[in-house]
A and B are shown apart, each in its own frame.
Chain A
Amino acid sequence: MLREEELKTFVDGTTRYFEVAAQQPATIGSPYLLEGEPAMQDYTGMINISGKREGVVYFTAPRAMLTVLLMKMQESDFSHESMRDLVGEVANTISGNARRDFGHDFVISVPSVFAGEKPQIAQPSGARAFVIPIHWRSHSAKLVVSLT
């Protein structure tokens, strides 16, 4: 089961992503345990984890936040496809960076992306899901981490 101290890896990864990719740090709120259905926003990028640990990591964000993030990255394509691409890449980068602490056996999938529809989340039984709130400029997103 994911220990609270292991959450630091994902908090640090999220901080690093916004600092480097968007050149503007995000504020990370206090992580909390998810109860009930996760609150999905407009776009969600999800990574399945297998190997030494099992579970999911997903990043969910509103379109408005992704639009500004793309602008900060000097992108000029704000299409639905770009939004899907971006949430997948954020989830992939944060999960991949977590291997620095979790090691080579923390195997990450290619991203699955959901927009509008309710995602099928294969959450392992007994695993707790932690929500990491991300505040960036005037927008809020969430990173959800659920691991055995």
Chain B
Amino acid sequence: MGTAQETVARRTIRLLIVDDSNIVRRRIERSQQFDELEVVGTAANGLEALELARRTDPDLVTMDLTMPQMDGIECITQLVRFKPEIRILVISALADKATAVEAMERGANGFLNKPFTDRQLNDAIAELMY
């Protein structure tokens, strides 16, 4: 017999968006179609991302690679050291295999090339989180 107590509450997934382009950050924010996702912060480079990650404790990060001050590869390395269970989806224009392999070796969990469609973004997030 079903009761309210048997209903499994769906956990909120805290999302941090990292990209040096405002347009891309807003695009990711608009595109995500999961009720469970809550954008807890946006950062324009790796340094900002690390600071925000410490303050906002995200479960999922979308990470650009080519950014000023601190690039995405260095940021992934430090994020994973600080929070090993974090899930990281790289969203980058860099389309060579070696870059994707390097990002995964540093601790990324998925890789999506720019330009991307809303569907590709949502599929990539779903693959990582569900």
Contacts and interface: CB of A to CB of B under 8 A. Distances in A.
A104 B99 contact: yes
B96 A99 contact: yes
A68 to B, nearest CB: 14
B92 A20 contact: no
B114 A93 contact: yes
Contact of B95 (A21, A82, A100, A109): A100
Contact of B23 (A75, A95, A106): A75
Interface residues of B toward A: which range?
A: 20 to 34
B117 A110 contact: no
Interface stretch (A28-36, A84-92, A116-124, A129-137): A84-92
Contacts of B117: 20
Interface of A: 16-17, 20-21, 70, 73-75, 77, 81-82, 85-86, 88-89, 92-100, 102-104, 106, 108-110
A95 B93 contact: yes
Interface of B: 20-24, 26-27, 30, 66-68, 92-96, 98-99, 113-117
A75 B26 contact: yes
Given A73-B27, A110-B68, A20 B115 contact: yes
B105 to A, nearest CB: 13
Contacts of B93: 92-97
A93 B93 CA distance: 5
